[in-house]
Amino acid sequence: MAIKEGDMYYAYSKNPEIKENGEYGGVVTTIMKYLLKNHIVDGVVVVEEGMDLYDAVPSLITDPEDVIRSAGSIHCGTMNLAKFISKYLDGCRDMKIALTCKPCESMTIVELIKKGKIIGDNIIMIGVNCGGTLSPIKTMQMIKEVYEIDPKNVVKEEISKGKLIIKTIDGDRKSFSIKKLEEEGKGRRENCQRCELKIPSNADIAVGNWGVVGHLAGKASFVEVFSNKGAKILEKVIKDDFIEIEKPNKEGIAIREKINKSMLELGKKSKKKLIGDLTGDIIEAFHAYEDEFSRCMKCYGCREACPLCYCDDCSLESEGPEWVPGGYTPAAPFFHLTRMVHMVDACTNCGQCSEVCPSEIDVAGLWSIVNNKVSEEYGYYSGFKTSKPIPFTQYPHKK
């Protein structure tokens, strides 16, 4: 059976153990196992559950029998695996890998491929639909206070039909409206609330449960093929009898589209709210955040966590000229302006910088506004494959 770009299927694993333990038919786990077993890749990068459900651990697996460890999903997996690959796996220079990625991770990988920091031919992206992730500690507090459940008793959390559903070890189930939680400053991370890519169309294959209806509801995933590479892989996995597929029905396709559309609209609304009346230039946006940034203790956490801040010799630490005078705290505005200049075209709203900031500054919020202005001006959208030149790389700029 020939598979091609644009094809959509319902799919589930033919491996009983993976089907049982994996999420919605265990398709992602099965593909990963297949790729390793057949030496198509040297390793797979996945997220495993660590100490508990709130502890998401990035992991490189090289033995196909170990892939089962990564079955299931963790909504507190807020990391960006692009950093793991570019920093710790040397951008896949010497090894071929496959990874499971959220849309903001596939976007960041695409940006890093454009900048030569990840070798695109050596990476296979199995994307997963994403409605949002939650910061682990805040989530534990919220479960205790709002759900009145001991976070240790939670076995699963799920976002469905606008609700955050929590299931306990005793089989209890409680849900609250995500909208309401977010109005109270709880729920998904702020960058997730304004996220504008929910189905990772820039990965090779996208997998999720949206739109799986009928006899396979809850037992299979909806798979969409987004590249030739993805098509070839899926074709092999099916031919070698690792997964079973069925054509999705029209109702399922429509439901998936509807969910995606409503999530994107919510993202747009949150972004609009964030930008507010900041309709001027980048400097105006920067001014608006000055009070907030005056709390910066210059710990370099945002720079360290940002997957798109990758220079080995960072100019912020150069001896002279003294870009950031004196090493004082709070950091001089130039500290952030320098970082802004370095990644303004590339920020993918992944939220890592806000996540780590000890002063709880909405770093990603400002970069999101600034990146939005660059996109509007240059028609260049970070995280997407494009033939357009990267802004600020040529005179005159050809749009």
Nearest distance from C-beta of residue 178 to ligand SF4, angstroms: 12
Q: Is 82 one of the binding residues for ligand SF4 (CB under 6 A)?
A: no
Total residues in contact with ligand SF4, by rule CB under 6 A: 36
Q: Residue by residue, what is the 3-state secondary structure of the chain?
A: CCCCCCCEEEEEECCHHHHHHCCCCCHHHHHHHHHHHCCCCCEEEEEEECCCCCCEEEEEECCHHHHHHHCCCCCCCCCCHHHHHHHHCHHHCCCCEEEEECHHHHHHHHHHHHCCCCCHHHEEEEEECCCCCCCHHHHHHHHHHCCCCCHHHEEEEEEECCEEEEEECCCCEEEEEHHHHHHCCCCCCHHHHCCCCCCCCCCCEEEECCCCCHHHCCCCEEEEECCHHHHHHHHHHHHCCCEEEECCCHHHHHHHHHHHHHHHHHHHHHHHHHHCCCCCCHHHHHHHCHHHHCCCCCCCHHHHHCCCCCCCCCHHHCCCCCCCHHHCCCCCHHHHHHHHHHHCCCCCCCCHHHHHCCCCCCHHHHHHHHHHHHHHHHCCCCCCCCCCCCCCCCCCCCC
Site string for ligand SF4, 363-392 (x = CB under 6 A): xx--x-------------------------
Of the pair 21, 329, the CB lying nearest ligand SF4 is at 329
- Tell me which of 36, 104, 134, 243 binds ligand SF4, using CB under 6 A: 104
Which stretch, 36-44, 245-253, 358-366, 383-391, contacts ligand SF4 (CB under 6 A)?
Answer: 358-366
Q: Is 166 one of the binding residues for ligand SF4 (CB under 6 A)?
A: no
Nearest distance from C-beta of residue 314 to ligand SF4, angstroms: 12
Distance, in Å, from the CA atom of 59 to the CA atom of 197, rounded to the nearest integer, reads 24
Of the pair 86, 133, the CB lying nearest ligand SF4 is at 133
Of the pair 7, 111, the CB lying nearest ligand SF4 is at 111
Nearest distance from C-beta of residue 108 to ligand SF4, angstroms: 6
User: What would you measure as the largest C-alpha separation in the chain, in angstroms?
Assistant: 67
- Tell me which of 124, 361, 370, 374 binds ligand SF4, using CB under 6 A: 361
Of the pair 27, 305, the CB lying nearest ligand SF4 is at 305
Distance, in Å, from the CA atom of 113 to the CA atom of 223, rounded to the nearest integer, reads 24
Nearest distance from C-beta of residue 300 to ligand SF4, angstroms: 5
- Tell me which of 103, 136, 208, 252 binds ligand SF4, using CB under 6 A: 103
The footprint of ligand SF4 on residues 126-165 (CB under 6 A) is 130, 132-133
Of the pair 36, 374, the CB lying nearest ligand SF4 is at 374
The footprint of ligand SF4 on residues 178-207 (CB under 6 A) is 191-192, 195
The footprint of ligand SF4 on residues 277-316 (CB under 6 A) is 296-302, 305-306, 308
The footprint of ligand SF4 on residues 315-354 (CB under 6 A) is 331, 343, 347-353
Q: Which residues bind ligand SF4 (CB under 6 A)?
A: 102-104, 130, 132-133, 191-192, 195, 296-302, 305-306, 308, 331, 343, 347-353, 356-359, 361, 363-364, 367
